[in-house]
Structure 1
């Protein structure tokens, strides 16, 4: 084993980097990307400086792995910004507190309103068609409503 370590070449590091990147493609979730890139970086260093001792190669590998992962983590944290559309994929939440006319009467606790070109199922107290209702909540795709104050 020790003789192998003394004979490490840039090909060994490039092979390790390639294997790690292949594992990353199969779903490591980003963990092996930076380690694979670090291995390729050590391969480049050993190509340029072939007399680099194996212990220094492993130290460089460890330092580059940690450094690349930490730098990426910091970049991701600073690049994260709040969405300009916080209600995206939360259909119906934009209707909370708004008033609408019942399109179909609420009978047995169910009815329909027309909001933004879409028909919505509503639940609430029985009311005739045309009554004003206010959206007070949401249960999945069904909006909870109450009679609007006149």
Structure 2
């Protein structure tokens, strides 16, 4: 085995890179992609310089693996932009500031409003059903309301 490692060729590195990229296709979540790219790069370097010592090839593989992963991580972080729809997937946020009639009276600090096609649990001061309220906040699935 040690004799094999001492005589690595560019085909070995390209095979390793191909294997890692194939494994990436099966759902590694991006972890093996950059290691596979690094192995392919070492294979290309070994093709150009076949006399490169196996220890230098291994160190080069490790350094390139780290560099490619860090490069991609930084590129992803710098290209992330804030959403044009910041309330997307935050149900209830679109109701803040809007007015609704109470569907069920607020007793003991809890009641319900009908908003769109849903009935929402609300918290606020005790009020009879039909009273107009304004949504002023949200705590999970509970909307906070105040009387108008």
TM bin (shorter chain)? 0.7 to 0.9
Instruction: Give the TM-score taking structure 1 as reference length.
Output: 0.75
- For 2:128 and 2:55, locate their aligned partners in 1 and report how far apart those are by CA, in whole Å: 82
Shift of 1:112: 2.4
Residue number in structure 2 paired with 1:145:
145
SS of corresponding position for 1:126: coil
Shift of 1:65: 1.8
Q: How does 1:5-44 map to 2 (within 5 A)?
A: 5-21=5-21, 24=24, 29-44=29-44
SS of corresponding position for 1:82: coil
Shift of 1:14: 2.7
Residue number in structure 1 paired with 2:84:
84
Is there any run of 5+ residues in structure 2 with no aligned partner, and where?
none
Shift of 1:79: 0.5
For the structure 1 residues 68 and 133, does the alpha-carbon distance in structure 2 shift closer, same or farther, using more than 3 Å as the test? same
Shift of 1:28: 5.2
- For 1:33 and 1:116, locate their aligned partners in 2 and report how far apart those are by CA, in whole Å: 45
- For 1:80 and 1:29, locate their aligned partners in 2 and report how far apart those are by CA, in whole Å: 18
Residue number in structure 2 paired with 1:64:
64
Deviation string 1:99-142 (CA, Å, 9 cap, x unpaired) is 22223333454332232443322233332222111223323222
Residue number in structure 2 paired with 1:100:
100
SS of corresponding position for 2:126: coil
Shift of 1:49: 4.2
- For 1:55 and 1:115, locate their aligned partners in 2 and report how far apart those are by CA, in whole Å: 67
Shift of 1:59: 3.9
For the structure 1 residues 34 and 108, does the alpha-carbon distance in structure 2 shift closer, same or farther, using more than 3 Å as the test? same
- For 2:138 and 2:66, locate their aligned partners in 1 and report how far apart those are by CA, in whole Å: 46
Please identify, of 18-27 and 65-74, the stretch whose mean Cα deviation from structure 2 is larger: 18-27
Count of aligned positions? 148
